[in-house]
């Protein structure tokens, strides 16, 4: 009887240790904080492609103009989401918002950066395009 208790206690201790190890070795994941943001996509030269309000709740992001919801995949530094047009946006934390890049997913084996993007908290000035130069 004593041996059965000892074996049971050892099995329980190993199980507890394994569970503790499993919870402490999972990769750290950040996520895009919930709230209202201004989504801006722009070219490398700073000219704005599109800009509109979005809403983040949990691991979902919605364009507020048509309330289309997309899943956000948390990453180590922020998150990524892919609307149905074949673009994937990867965001990472910068300041009080997020910045990132847009990739064209339809190019096989080599994701191509097609634009830059930002999520700026609502009420914060969004990035603006630089003045247009006509002399170049």
pLDDT at 16: 52
pLDDT in tens, 73-122: 998 889 999 887 778 889 999 988 999 988 877 665 555 677 889 999 98
In angstroms, the Cα distances linking 61 to 1, 28, 55, 57 are: 58, 21, 6, 6
Q: Is the pLDDT score of 56 beyond 60?
A: yes
Report how far apart the first and last C-alpha atoms of the chain are (Å, whole number): 90
Query: According to the model, what pLDDT value does residue 111 have?
Result: 59
Q: Is the pLDDT of residue 18 over 90?
A: no
Taking 80 as the threshold, does the pLDDT of residue 15 lie above it?
Answer: no
Which has more confidence, 3 or 104? Answer: 104
Q: Which of 4-8, 36-40, 43-47 has the lowest mean pLDDT?
A: 4-8
**pLDDT at residue 85, as a whole number:** 75
pTM for this structure? 0.65
- Asked whether the predicted pLDDT for residue 65 surpasses 70, the reply is yes
User: Quick one: which of 102, 93, 82, 90 has its CA closest to 121?
Assistant: 93
Report the distance separating Cα 53 and Cα 120, nearest Å.
Answer: 9
Mean pLDDT for the chain? 74
């Amino acid at each position: 009887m004593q041996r059965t208790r000892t074996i049971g206690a050892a099995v329980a201790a190993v199980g507890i240790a394994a569970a503790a190890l499993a919870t402490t070795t999972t990769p750290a994941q950040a996520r895009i904080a919930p709230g209202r943001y201004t989504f801006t996509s722009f070219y490398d030269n700073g000219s704005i492609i599109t800009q509109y309000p979005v809403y983040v709740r949990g691991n979902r992001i919605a364009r507020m103009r048509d309330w289309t919801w997309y899943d956000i995949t948390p990453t180590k530094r922020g998150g990524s989401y892919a609307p149905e047009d074949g673009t994937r946006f990867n965001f990472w934390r910068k300041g009080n918002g997020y910045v990132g890049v847009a990739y064209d997913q339809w190019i096989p084996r080599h994701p191509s950066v097609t634009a830059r993007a930002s999520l700026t908290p609502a009420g914060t000035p969004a990035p603006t395009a630089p003045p247009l130069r006509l002399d170049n």
